[in-house]
Chains A and B, each alone.
Chain A
Amino acid sequence: QSALTQPPSASGSPGQSVTISCTGTSSDIGGYNYVSWYQHYPGKAPRLLIYAVNVRSSGVPDRFSGSKSGNTASLNVSGLQAEDEGHYYCCSYGGRSVPRLFGGGTKLTVL
């Protein structure tokens, strides 16, 4: 299976909202409600933000939300803050022998 497709970059001003898309196929995103999103800063461990499409992980502010429609999942970040700047990765279950399938990542810039 190929990696999920994410835009390489996204940006917004402080206080604004931004949405990052993640496109897969009916064999991964479209076939299961097992989409997760991770925030990653260089040199750090990735942080789980969202799992099961729209469930926030413990301690994640409600500015972060997830959704899915067909083969495309989305991460919305509202009320952008400077510390939101970083890389964001989507991930989907791709079937029993492909338990994790990552997107290429999106670099979020807060202008």
Chain B
Amino acid sequence: EVKLVASGGGIVQPGGSLRLSCAASGFGFSSFTMNWVRQAPGKGLEWIAYITGAGTTTYYAASVQGRFTISRDNVNSTVYLQMDSLRLEDTAVYFCARGRSAAADDFWGQGIQVTVSS
């Protein structure tokens, strides 16, 4: 069974940092791209970061470019999202998702809350 379990969320002050983790199981982790997608309160889904299976290529949405870093550990089947210089508008539920062919994501984690507040 494919499972994606996110952790590391919480409350942080503006300008602070947080690292999210997404532990994967039930599939050959290194063979799949991974994405982070978020949903701010009352808003829709927003893609924010992508990483290839080998971890050699990453892409970011303009809203997080230069502040967030996606990485992965294929030995421990975990993808990370390092979030620095956090802003109020980064408050959202963050989802990790497994990429499949045709630029779609077929399995999603349960979502984890990140709140940026002073």
Contact = CB atoms under 8 A, between A and B. Distances in A.
B103 A100 contact: yes
Interface string A49-77: 00110010100000000000000000000
Contacts of B47: 91, 99-102
B18 interface: no
B102 interface: yes
- Greatest chain A CB density within 10 A among B35, B99, B100 is at B100
Interface secondary structure of A, over-half rule: loop
Contact of A91 (B50, B59, B104, B108): B104
Contacts of A38: 45
A59 B109 CA distance: 18
Nearest to A33: B102
Given A46-B45, A102-B44, A93 B103 contact: yes
Interface string A35-48: 01010100111111
B27 to A, nearest CB: 14
A58 to B, nearest CB: 8
A34 B102 contact: yes
Interface residues of A, number: 32
Contacts of A40: 45
Contacts of B102: 33-34, 36, 51-52, 55, 93
B103 A36 contact: yes
Contacts of A30: none
A13 to B, nearest CB: 25
A48 B44 contact: no
A105 interface: yes
Given A45-B111, A47-B108, A99-B47, 10 more contacts: A34-B103, A46-B97, A51-B101, A91-B45, A91-B47, A91-B103, A93-B102, A99-B103, A102-B47, A104-B44
25 contacts: A3-B44, A34-B104, A43-B111, A46-B45, A46-B95, A47-B108, A48-B104, A51-B100, A51-B102, A51-B103, A51-B104, A52-B102, A89-B45, A91-B45, A92-B103, A96-B59, A99-B50, A99-B103, A100-B35, A100-B50, A102-B46, A102-B47, A103-B44, A104-B44, A105-B44
